């Protein structure tokens, strides 16, 4: 499919992120409905073309747990990425509308993400790098799929010197500058599942105003080269969606405003490294198998944490595979 900007009619906005916005569009020549992600990238023409080439890998990513890719093109100064549109949007939007999500549904989310991650890694050696509720999507057919994985090394490079994309779903080893592995995605999955099951970002209550920041500097700097956001795309250097982002972060209980911005994020990163990992609480509210699964995602030592593939054999995931919760019926309730 040869995609051109002038063939795509914008129907409505699906959402805004750090790097740009996502629109629901119709491809006029074929009548296909798609989601168009518009990303502003500050890079030289040669690099932009390289990024575009690298994004083509997504054509080969065919799994029912991965968002399908229609194509990408340059629309200076943006890169547009066209993908399958999911009519129920992302899980962050869903739980903010419905409140805490039923644990059996959360189990289906866990299964889908693990299947998607296993596919990406086994078939393409791709590590997602940005698992979080806004990158887990759902449609009214009851399908759950992941999007915005880090396919482009050039994109990963071009965000090297920014802190803006640093994710609060980042694993402790990643914050401390270690190599990214599939196990870092497992940590992010654990945090995301807790968020869906509790109906709030799990770290939001642990931030205090007077945390000690003294030993933070050394912790932070090594992590910077790899910090990344959706699709591994860099946030624009001159950001024009600052207000939108502030609102998003506020809803997670992390203040990003003004001079206080960096402090709060640093505080959170310090907390992730030094404090006990987040859990499904209070004890007894959730099935033991779900608690145990989340605890195994939240092991701080990546060597002890299992890979997505190994976790497909976890008891709770085996249960979730057979559980008869009706996702399609569930999506019709909101």
- Contacting positions for ligand ATP (CB under 6 A): 14-20, 22, 35, 37, 67, 83-86, 89-90, 93, 134-135, 137, 147-148, 229-230
Kindly determine how many residues on this chain lie close enough to bind Mg ion according to the rule CB under 5 A. 3
> Which lies closer to ligand ATP via its Cβ, residue 130 or residue 314?
130
Q: How far is the CB of 134 from Mg ion (least distance, A)?
A: 5
Of 130, 148, 185, 314, the catalytic one is 130
* Residue 48, binding choice from Mg ion, ligand ATP, none, Cβ under 5 to 8 Å by partner class: none
Cα distance between residue 126 and residue 107, in whole Å: 23
Supply the minimum distance, in Å, between the C-beta of residue 180 and ligand ATP.
16
Between 119 and 149, name the residue whose CB sits nearer to Mg ion. 149
**Residue 280 interface partner, choices ligand ATP, Mg ion, none, CB cut-off 5-8 Å depending on type:** none
Q: How far is the CB of 195 from ligand ATP (least distance, A)?
A: 13
Which tokens go with 292?
């145990």
Nearest residue to Mg ion by CB is 230
Question: What distances in angstroms separate CA 314 from CA 37, 279, 280, 281, 324, one per listed residue?
Answer: 35, 17, 17, 20, 18
Residue 240 CB, shortest distance to Mg ion, in Å, is 18
Using the minimum distance from each CB to ligand ATP, give the nearer residue, 281 or 328.
328
Three-state helix/strand/coil letters over the chain: CCCCHHHEEEEEEEEECCCEEEEEEEECCCCEEEEEEEEECCCCHHHHHHHHHHHHHHHHCCCCCECCEEEEEEECCEEEEEEECCCCCEHHHHHHHHCCCCHHHHHHHHHHHHHHHHHHHHHHCCCCCCCCHHHEEECCCCCEEECCCCCCHHHHHHCCCCCCCCCCCCCHHHHCCCCCCHHHHHHHHHHHHHHHHHCCCCCCCCCCCCCCCCCCHHHHHHHHHHCCCHHHCCCCCCCCCHHHHHHHHHHCCCCCCCCHHHHHHHHHHHHHHHCCCCCCCCCCCCCHHHHHHHHHHCCCCCCCCCCHHHHCCCHHHHHHHHCCCCHHHHHCCC
Contact between 135 and Mg ion (CB under 5 A)?
A: yes
Interface with Mg ion in residues 209-248 (CB under 5 A)? 230
Is 2 in the active site?
A: no
Q: Give the nearer residue to ligand ATP in terms of CB position, either 135 or 192.
A: 135
Please list every residue from 140 through 199 that binds Mg ion, using CB under 5 A: 148
83 binds, among ligand ATP, Mg ion, none (CB under 5 to 8 A by kind): ligand ATP
Interacting stretch for Mg ion, rule CB under 5 A, among 41-49, 134-142, 149-157, 283-291? 134-142
**Residue 185 binds which of ligand ATP, Mg ion, none (CB < 5-8 A, kind-dependent):** none
Residue nearest to ligand ATP (CB): 17
CB 255 within 8 A of CB 157: no
Q: How far is the CB of 132 from ligand ATP (least distance, A)?
A: 7
Query: Which residue do the tokens 């999506």 mark?
Result: 331
Tell me the closest approach of the beta carbon of residue 89 to Mg ion, in angstroms. 11
Choose from ligand ATP, Mg ion, none: what does 314 bind? Cβ within 5-8 Å by kind: none
Closest CA to 332 of 147, 87, 93: 87
Identity of the residue, 35 or 256, whose beta carbon is nearer to Mg ion in the bound complex: 35
Q: Residue 204 binds which entry of Mg ion, ligand ATP, none, with Cβ cut-offs from 5 to 8 Å by kind?
A: none
Q: List contacts with Mg ion (CB under 5 A).
A: 135, 148, 230
Active site residues per annotation: 130
């Amino acid at each position: 499919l040869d995609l051109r900007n002038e063939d795509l009619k914008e129907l409505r906005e699906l959402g805004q992120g750090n790097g740009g916005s996502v629109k629901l569009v119709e491809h006029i020549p074929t009548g296909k409905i798609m989601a168009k992600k518009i990303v502003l990238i500050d890079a030289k023409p040669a690099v932009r073309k390289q990024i575009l080439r690298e994004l083509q890998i997504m054509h080969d990513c065919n799994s029912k747990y991965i968002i399908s890719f229609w194509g990408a093109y340059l629309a200076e100064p943006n890169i547009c990425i066209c993908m399958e549109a999911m009519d129920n949007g992302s899980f962050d939007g869903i739980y903010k509308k419905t409140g805490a999500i039923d644990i059996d549904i959360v189990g289906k989310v866990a299964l889908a993400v693990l299947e998607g991650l296993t596919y990406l890694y086994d078939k393409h050696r791709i590590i997602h790098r940005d698992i979080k509720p806004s990158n887990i999507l759902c449609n009214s057919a009851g399908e759950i799929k992941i999007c915005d994985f880090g396919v482009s090394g050039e994109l990963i490079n071009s965000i090297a010197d920014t802190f803006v994309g640093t994710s609060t779903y980042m694993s402790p080893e990643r914050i401390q500058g270690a190599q990214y592995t599939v196990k870092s995605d497992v940590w992010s999955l654990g945090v995301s599942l807790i968020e869906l099951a509790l109906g709030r970002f799990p770290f939001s209550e642990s931030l205090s105003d007077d945390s000690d920041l003294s030993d933070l500097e050394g912790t932070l700097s090594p992590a910077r080269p790899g910090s990344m956001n959706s699709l591994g795309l860099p946030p624009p250097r001159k950001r024009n969606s600052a207000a939108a982002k502030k609102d998003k972060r506020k809803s997670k209980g992390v203040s990003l405003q003004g001079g206080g911005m960096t402090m709060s994020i640093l505080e959170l990163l310090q907390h992730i490294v030094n404090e006990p990992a987040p859990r499904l609480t209070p004890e007894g509210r959730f099935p033991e198998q779900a608690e145990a699964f989340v605890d195994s995602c939240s092991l701080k030592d990546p060597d002890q944490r299992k890979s997505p593939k190994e976790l497909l054999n976890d008891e709770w995931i085996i249960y979730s595979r057979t559980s008869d919760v009706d996702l399609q019926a569930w999506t019709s309730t909101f």
